[in-house]
Structure 1
Amino acid sequence: MTEDRDDLSRWATWRELHAQPEIWRGWAEEFAAHEVRDWIASLDAPEVWFCGAGTSAYIGDIVAAGLEGQGTRMRSVPTTDLVSRPHAYLPGPRPLVVNFGRSGGSPETLGALDALDVLAPEAPRLNVTCNDKGALARRKATGECGVVVLPEATHDQGFAMTSSFSTMLLTALTLFDADPPEDALPDLAEALEALLPRYAAVAAEAEPPGRIVFLGTGPMAFAAREAALKVMELTAGRVAALWDSTLGFRHGPKSFVDDSTRIVLFASRDPQASNYEADLIDELSGQYPHAGLASFGPGGDLDPKLDLPDVWQTPLAVALAQVLGVVWSDAIGLDVDDPFKGRGTLSRVVAGVTLYPVKRP
């Protein structure tokens, strides 16, 4: 790439997001997915709940939206909801609870495990984590419990989740897609390698904007949610970021846009969805002619040219925001690996949460 990348490589976050292609290739060879899929099938669970906090919760949003209608009901149940109102969810159907966690030891992760122990001890669990020393990897459960520990390289040391997010997401898709595409991870790795220099060029072409909006349909809408979070986290809120669905955006959130706002569309391969996306882009181009418009996806400015369903391409879309966030954070003069350094307001693993005991009904 360019000299800019050589300079940015002093940041762990930049190195970690660029490591994703090689991580995905290695994981495709190492992960015994068929064994875990057989175990999941043997459980015959009526529902699958995807649980996590923040970015880990958004993994569940993406998977549930992308795989809906395949058979077994899939729900995204953030641990931030489960911990604060456990009796609203448990006891209930005997779901398979899939817990995602980079560190595997955040307060909400521990609180969710506590709630399951008390209210649904026999519900099977599948813990997917990047840290072999965390609670998700080591804590015992009363019922059946599977554990998938990702390669050590996914345990990001930077504040923002990059390879941890994408590899946990691709692991979940590999396990729960009824018909996972063959060679998806190597194909995605090759596509991302080609896209990363182009993403860096997009990020460097202008000063960090005051505002940015990410839009999408279905799983791409939730990829937009993670993208907005990445930019806002890495720039410590200096770049205000919003996300919405393509059709939902007109219902008030469009008021966020002014002539200095960057707008990014994560385009869908679905013909019906693409009609609405094209209409919105035409509308925004006319109403905000000076706003920067960019699109990822089929026929867009940044087209990976992959014959894969939308949900499988979400890591490529989010990687654009990872690059934007790092480049802009560095340009602002922040510590990219710890944008809130010296403030004590946010930390890599969430702190400051008091857990309260869960009582049986």
Structure 2
Amino acid sequence: MTSTPTLPETATWAEIHAQPDIWAAWADSLATQSREIRDWIAARGIDTVWLVGAGTSAFIGGIIAAGRSDLRFEDRASTDIVSCPQDCLTASGRILVVQFGRSGSSSESIGVMELLDKHRPDIDRLHITCNPDGALATRPAPGPGQMRVLTLPEATHDRGFAMTSSFTTMLLSALACLTDFDPALLPRLAEEARGLIGSLAGDTCAPRPERAVFLGSGALRSMARESALKVLELTAGRTVTQWDSPLGYRHGPKAAVNGQTEVYVSLHPDPQTARYDLDVAEEIRSQFPHVRVTTIGRGGDIAVTGTGDARVDAVLHVLPAQIRAAQWSAELGLPVDDPFQGRNLSRVVSGVTLYDWQQ
């Protein structure tokens, strides 16, 4: 039996649907600003880029770092830098720290800035944030390292608990600043996203599973991680989730699959990689005939054309999880914009004790 949960008008639901219009409207401004940032990076002689964030913002770094670039990308969560500064702040070379933040004021965002101010003021910084009033946007760097700030459109500063438009727009913006991604493609991406969102939101869906698994290869692995987090967050932990690469999932984690599991497998745009993705999807279907397995991508159950660059196409592959997470949250009778109702988890992580590091 299938149903389509009726969602009340919530900020989260509106923010999911707003993404295509945000991307299309941002294209021209992003083209100009990203060109200036790329020129600045080249002039500064940067060879290594640290991609820094916490939670969803950290997964942006994982997606970008999985692709090819003339720059050396290092995926470094701000939570790791703050807790283990000894592992990275002694690094040499021409480094650019790119920090991502929806609010720009989480404890770890501030912690990274304080560590750089005190121990590595020579390192250049690029802050990509959705909040013009947050610390990432307003706090200056002491120098001699230089700083640039890219502030996204106001609509990306999600009011809901879960990051949706903030995640996808920060990812696309970073790709424009750090890779050869052309913002002129944003209207095309937006058009495909509108169709996907409309189809998924209007389609019937199976009742909420007890467990949901998201798998993706290469850059889509971190997208799968974000998908799993969206469902876990919006269902307040009542839907247990997993994420992995399709090949990695065979090596033990598949033990979690039972009759109350739903599995989503993203098909990588590279045909060679997609063969492995499809093999694992078929294997799970044959081993667990009562489990619903949904493929996402070219030729998938949820068709995604995309651009052929998995890093860019991640913004399309994450849409099914955003939609289903909101629907399943509503099915549980939770307030979608605040599923924890102010307890245990909050929209912005704050109050973390930051300890001084004696180098």
TM-score by length of 1: 0.94
Q: 1:96 is paired with a residue of what secondary structure?
A: strand
Counterparts of residues 1-361 of structure 1 (less than 5 Å): 8=7, 10-31=9-30, 32=32, 33-65=34-66, 67-68=67-68, 70-93=69-92, 94-141=94-141, 142=143, 143-177=145-179, 179-181=180-182, 183-201=184-202, 204-342=204-342, 344-359=343-358, 361=359
TM-aligned CA distance change 1:292 to 1:201, over 3 Å: farther
Q: Contact (CA 8 Å) 2:304, 2:317: kept in 1 or not? A: no
Distance 2:284 2:136 in 1: 44
Question: Percent of aligned pairs with the same residue?
Answer: 47
Q: Contact (CA 8 Å) 1:130, 1:151: kept in 2 or not? A: yes
Tell me which moved more, 182-191 or 236-245.
182-191
Query: CA shift at 1:268, angstroms?
Result: 0.5
- Structure 1 counterpart of 2:115, which letter? A
- Structure 1 counterpart of 2:137, which letter? A
Runs of 4+ in 1 over 3 A off after TM superposition: none
Q: Contact (CA 8 Å) 2:266, 2:277: kept in 1 or not? A: no
Distance 1:232 1:334 in 2: 13
Query: CA shift at 1:351, angstroms?
Result: 2.7
Unaligned runs of 5+ in 2: none
Query: CA shift at 1:9, angstroms?
Result: 5.0
- Structure 2 counterpart of 1:329, which letter? S
Q: 1:247 is paired with a residue of what secondary structure?
A: helix
Aligned length: 352
Q: 1:92 is paired with a residue of what secondary structure?
A: coil
Q: 1:125 is paired with a residue of what secondary structure?
A: strand
Query: CA shift at 1:4, angstroms?
Result: 6.5
Distance 1:104 1:307 in 2: 30
Distance 2:256 2:194 in 1: 33
Query: CA shift at 1:271, angstroms?
Result: 2.1
Q: 1:183 is paired with a residue of what secondary structure?
A: helix
Distance 2:327 2:183 in 1: 34
TM-aligned CA distance change 1:191 to 1:9, over 3 Å: farther
Cα deviation code 1:79-113 (max 9, x no counterpart): 00000011210021231000000000000000010
- Structure 2 counterpart of 1:302, which letter? I
Query: CA shift at 1:71, angstroms?
Result: 2.0
Unaligned runs of 5+ in 1: none
TM-score by length of 2: 0.95
Distance 2:223 2:306 in 1: 17
Distance 2:38 2:235 in 1: 39
Query: CA shift at 1:310, angstroms?
Result: 1.3
Q: Contact (CA 8 Å) 1:130, 1:152: kept in 2 or not? A: yes
Distance 1:323 1:283 in 2: 26
Aligned-residue RMSD, C-alpha: 1.5
Q: Contact (CA 8 Å) 1:199, 1:320: kept in 2 or not? A: yes
Q: 2:352 is paired with a residue of what secondary structure?
A: coil
Cα deviation code 1:41-89 (max 9, x no counterpart): 1111120000000000000000111x23x22210110000000011210
Distance 1:42 1:4 in 2: 53
Tell me which moved more, 349-358 or 46-55.
349-358
Distance 1:216 1:159 in 2: 25
Query: CA shift at 1:181, angstroms?
Result: 4.2
TM-aligned CA distance change 1:9 to 1:18, over 3 Å: farther
Cα deviation code 1:178-223 (max 9, x no counterpart): x324632111100010001222245x42111000100010011110
Query: CA shift at 1:34, angstroms?
Result: 1.0
Distance 1:340 1:307 in 2: 37
Query: CA shift at 1:354, angstroms?
Result: 0.7
Q: Contact (CA 8 Å) 1:223, 1:317: kept in 2 or not? A: yes
Cα deviation code 1:88-141 (max 9, x no counterpart): 100212310000000000000000101111221110000000000011001110
TM-aligned CA distance change 1:165 to 1:137, over 3 Å: same
- Structure 1 counterpart of 2:208, which letter? P
Distance 2:299 2:4 in 1: 28
